[in-house]
């Protein structure tokens, strides 16, 4: 695959585990490739064209175009970047699930931020892979997700495990302390964070500025003595500060 700005698949494997490929499929897995770099899209298409059981049926350059293409093409798998202009991949996830309910979404990105992983999963993504993976492993991940598995790059899974261990320890240390009181607006912001919304979408939803949202999130983390948006949501659910249905 060409070496492009976003980075190229490397040598580290993304899969926590691998299972033998099952019987030959009656129809190839139909894939929609979404990335704002045309060279990277073309590289993926060339690589995947060598796989007899995978067919690239379309491509898109941003999340908005991805939603349109998904509605028209009804792919089995959407292979999509996180950070793109106009509309990012995480924002597009929910809309794609609405217009193409059977499509499964794999985020393929350079972003190794836990917040992006959490928001992608909340938005409906089934896989989250870093672009350091090898080209062969992209095809393997597509097959695995098509067969109903979830795929997360090992480094991201490791970060999640470390984060959850830290959360459990900090929660245990504070268990005897009274839960900090959040304002109604802070609870409202926290609930929207829990749905996977980013600051811009929360601002639109609540008719406030994005900077105000950032201030609310910072205040929430300070009050709860936490370090990330994901940790704030998990803590709030555990302490019954917030019920998410």
Q: Is the Cβ–Cβ distance between 41 and 62 less than 8 Å?
A: no
Ranges in the chain, pLDDT < 70: 1-25, 157-179, 196, 239-245
**Strands lying side by side in the sheet with 77-80:** 54-60, 29-34, 77-80, 104-109, 127-130, 151-152
81-93 residue pLDDT tens: 999 988 999 999 9
CA atoms of 193 and 199, how far apart (whole Å): 8
Is the whole-model pTM more than 0.75? Answer: no
Among 101, 99, 78, CA closest to 30: 78
Q: Is the Cβ–Cβ distance between 112 and 155 less than 8 Å?
A: yes
CA atoms of 180 and 190, how far apart (whole Å): 14
CA atoms of 72 and 74, how far apart (whole Å): 6
Measure the CA dihedral 157/163/166/168, to 10°.
-80
Q: What is the DSSP string of 5-31?
A: TT----SS---S------SPPSSPEEE
Strands 29-34 and 77-80: parallel
Q: Is the Cβ–Cβ distance between 163 and 231 less than 8 Å?
A: yes
Among 119, 135, 137, CA closest to 194: 119
Question: What is the end-to-end Cα distance of the chain in Å, rounded?
Answer: 42
| pLDDT at site 175 | 54
| pLDDT at site 234 | 73
| pLDDT at site 139 | 93
- Measure Cα distances from 145 to 44, 59, 191, 202, 218 in Å: 17, 19, 29, 30, 36
| pLDDT at site 21 | 43
| pLDDT at site 241 | 66
- Structural domains of the chain, ranges and CATH numbers in brackets: 29-153 (3.40.50.2300), 178-238 (1.10.10.10)
Rg (CA), the chain: 19
Among 89, 45, 46, 83, CA closest to 65: 89
């Amino acid at each position: 695959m060409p070496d492009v700005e976003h980075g190229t698949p490397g040598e580290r494997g993304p899969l926590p585990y691998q299972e033998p490929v099952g019987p030959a499929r009656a129809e190839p897995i139909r894939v929609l490739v979404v990335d704002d770099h045309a060279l990277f899209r073309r590289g993926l298409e060339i690589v995947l064209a060598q796989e007899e059981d995978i067919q690239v049926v379309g491509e898109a350059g941003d999340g908005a175009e991805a939603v349109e293409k998904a509605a028209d093409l009804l792919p089995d798998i959407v292979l999509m970047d996180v950070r793109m202009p106009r509309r990012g991949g995480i924002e597009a996830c929910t809309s794609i699930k609405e217009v193409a309910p059977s499509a499964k979404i794999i985020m393929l990105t350079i972003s190794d931020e836990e917040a992006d992983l959490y928001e992608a999963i909340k938005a409906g993504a089934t896989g989250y892979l870093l672009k350091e993976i090898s080209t062969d492993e992209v095809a393997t991940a597509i097959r695995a997700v098509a067969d109903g598995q979830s795929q997360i790059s090992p480094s991201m899974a490791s970060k999640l495990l470390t984060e959850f261990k830290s959360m459990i320890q900090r929660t245990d240390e504070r268990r005897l302390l009274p839960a900090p009181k959040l304002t109604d607006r802070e609870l409202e912001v926290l609930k929207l964070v829990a749905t996977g919304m980013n600051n811009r979408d929360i601002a639109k939803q609540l008719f406030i500025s994005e900077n105000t949202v950032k201030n609310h999130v910072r205040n929430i983390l300070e009050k709860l003595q936490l370090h990330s948006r994901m940790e704030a949501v998990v803590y709030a659910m555990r302490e019954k500060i917030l019920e998410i249905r």
